[in-house]
Amino acid sequence: MFESHHLRKPTGKSAFSGLGAGEPGNSGQESYVFPMVLGDMKGTTNSLTHTAAAMMPSPIFIWRFQVTLFLVWGFSCCKTMMVWLWGVCLWVFSQSTISYVKIFDIDQNHLTHREIWKCSTWLTIIVPTSMTAYLYLYSHGEVSLAASQPVILYIAFALVLVFPFDIFYLSSRYFFLKTLWRIAFPLQPISFPDFFLADILTSMAKVFSDLERSVCRMLHNQVATIAWFEADSICGSHSVAIPLMLVIPYIWRLMQCLRQYKDTKEKTTLFNALKYSTAVPVIFLSALKYHVLPDRWTYVYHPLWLISSFVNSLYSFYWDVTRDWDLSVFTRIFKFNKPTWWSDLLYGQKWVYYWVIGSNLILRCTWTYKLSAHLRHNYLTVFTITALEMLRRFQWIFFRVENEWNKISKSSIQLPMTDIPNEDEKLVDSSDHTV
């Protein structure tokens, strides 16, 4: 039996004996779904086991390890998918009569949809390549080299983002980092790009917790080890750091709303702050399952979690439809400068109303699944809901930007003639003007 120190439990027992069907935290549903989805991976596992039996762990371990790699690749695809979708948004904006340059207050050197898609293409190539190298090196016994792959990937992305020289879209990277700084520390009046990006980050809350766990495993040398699968390890799925990371985007958005109230004294900003605060009990009540007695969870905290989830989903849906969107001029954003079949399909069509409102209600409710740690055992479901949330946020972007443009258009309407001073009044008041 393979006895590498990388694949041993803390108790000293062989890691492979603890990976059977009776392992805690693995439901029968999970064991049933993945053999169908990853049947081709099982064939790969068998061939590797026969060719390197002396160096490889049990087939069960390899199968579960490949499942984990599939999930990591899947979440990475969701992040890349969001960049692709943002490129689609920019393409629609560029075709529309809406000026997104004015809305976001960006200069003429901003990234176009073609440049965003170029970045997306590179991400689509680099991330799966890194995951493939990870699997290949580990399957050939190069555990240390395999463990270095995610470290290299994260460091490379961080260096590219903060690279100070005028290459690789310096002005856009600077604008992005400056906006992130303003989101994390709302010490100045909140601009539209600030809360727009912060809203998108709330849809990527799970990315924050995944990033924390990845960095944790790198720092504690748990990459490509059996501790990857242990829920009670320092970087496991029962860690208290997970709810703390999940709640960060909502706290940021909450602080922005409070800052807006300080600047404008508008009470609607307080109701918006209340909306983001309803996500906090959903996250922390769910995490309590792993830290309280089963009976107390069943009869006390689980009902409270259900109530808080219901309130958060309906409140968020209500705010989307009545505040973030303007239903009076819905689909104006799809009125293109040069009419195409896309604009004919979407502009002024009633079915768009029903689709967006209905899908937003359903996906607002399912998103609660991702915020709740005790529901994330079925990884295929988690992956699906992550992708669906990206699509929900994708369609939300169009109508949120449209609403902002409507506000700008209304504010730029000329004053009534009664409010315009005549020439004599101008001359009389000219002495009071200062330069």
How large is the average pLDDT for residues 71-85?
Answer: 68
Residue 187 to residue 185: CA distance in whole angstroms? 6
Number of domains in the chain: 1
HSE, side-chain direction, 13 A CA sphere, residue 125: 6
Question: How far is C-alpha 83 from the chain's CA centre?
Answer: 11
pLDDT number for residue 199:
94
- Six-digit token pair at 165? 């020289």
Instruction: Give a yes or no: residue 15 inside a domain.
Output: no
Helices (H) and strands (E) in the chain, counts: 18, 0
191: three-class secondary structure by DSSP? coil
The mean pLDDT value of the chain amounts to 75
How large is the average pLDDT for residues 35-63?
Answer: 49
> Sign of the C-alpha dihedral, residues 15, 18, 23, 26?
positive
- Six-digit token pair at 419? 């409010």
Asked whether the predicted pLDDT for residue 42 surpasses 50, the reply is no
Phi then psi for 291, rounded to 5 degrees?
A: -130, 10
Instruction: Give a yes or no: residue 53 inside a domain.
Output: no
Q: What burial class does residue 110 get, using C-beta atoms within 10 Å of its C-beta: 0-12 exposed, 13-18 middle, 19+ buried?
A: middle
pLDDT, tens digit, 9 for 90 and up, residues 139-151:
888 878 888 888 8
Task: Print the SS3 string covering 320-334.
Answer: HHHHHCCHHHCCHHH
Residue 230 to residue 214: CA distance in whole angstroms? 14
pLDDT number for residue 270:
95
Question: How far is C-alpha 81 from the chain's CA centre?
Answer: 10
Task: Domain of residue 217: give its range.
Answer: 59-103+112-331+346-409
Asked whether the predicted pLDDT for residue 258 surpasses 70, the reply is yes
pLDDT number for residue 406:
84
Instruction: Give a yes or no: residue 186 inside a domain.
Output: yes
Asked whether the predicted pLDDT for residue 218 surpasses 70, the reply is yes
Asked whether the predicted pLDDT for residue 416 surpasses 50, the reply is no
Q: What burial class does residue 141 get, using C-beta atoms within 10 Å of its C-beta: 0-12 exposed, 13-18 middle, 19+ buried?
A: middle
DSSP 168: S
Q: List 8's β-bridge partners, or say none.
A: 14
Window from 112-121, 373-382, 413-422 with minimum mean pLDDT: 413-422
Instruction: Give a yes or no: residue 16 inside a domain.
Output: no
Instruction: Give a yes or no: residue 79 inside a domain.
Output: yes
Instruction: Give a yes or no: residue 377 inside a domain.
Output: yes
Q: Which is more confident, 153 or 217?
A: 153
Window from 105-109, 175-179, 388-392 with minimum mean pLDDT: 105-109
Residue 286 to residue 377: CA distance in whole angstroms? 13
pTM of model > 0.85: no
Instruction: Give a yes or no: residue 1 inside a domain.
Output: no
- pLDDT classification of 435: cutoffs 50, 70, 90: very low
Q: Which is more confident, 274 or 417?
A: 274
Closest CA to 194 of 92, 103, 318, 108: 103
pLDDT number for residue 67:
57
Closest CA to 140 of 59, 208, 54, 207: 54
- Six-digit token pair at 156? 């490379």
Report the 10 Å Cβ neighbour count for 346.
17
Q: What burial class does residue 329 get, using C-beta atoms within 10 Å of its C-beta: 0-12 exposed, 13-18 middle, 19+ buried?
A: middle
Instruction: Give a yes or no: residue 198 inside a domain.
Output: yes
pLDDT number for residue 429:
38
How large is the average pLDDT for residues 404-431?
Answer: 54
Describe the chain by its helix, strand, coil percentages, rounded to 5: 75, 0, 25
Q: What angle do CA 124, 129, 135 make, to 5 degrees?
A: 135
- pLDDT classification of 381: cutoffs 50, 70, 90: confident
pLDDT, tens digit, 9 for 90 and up, residues 305-361:
999 999 999 999 999 988 888 776 666 777 787 777 777 778 777 788 889 889 999
Task: Print the SS3 string covering 364-423.
Answer: HHHHHHHHCHHHCCCHHHHHHHHHHHHHHHHHHHHHHHHHHHHHHHHHCCCCCHHHCCCH
Is 404 within 8 Å of 103 (Cβ atoms)?
yes
- Six-digit token pair at 241? 């750091």
In angstroms, the first-to-last Cα distance of the chain is: 85
Q: Which is more confident, 346 or 280?
A: 280
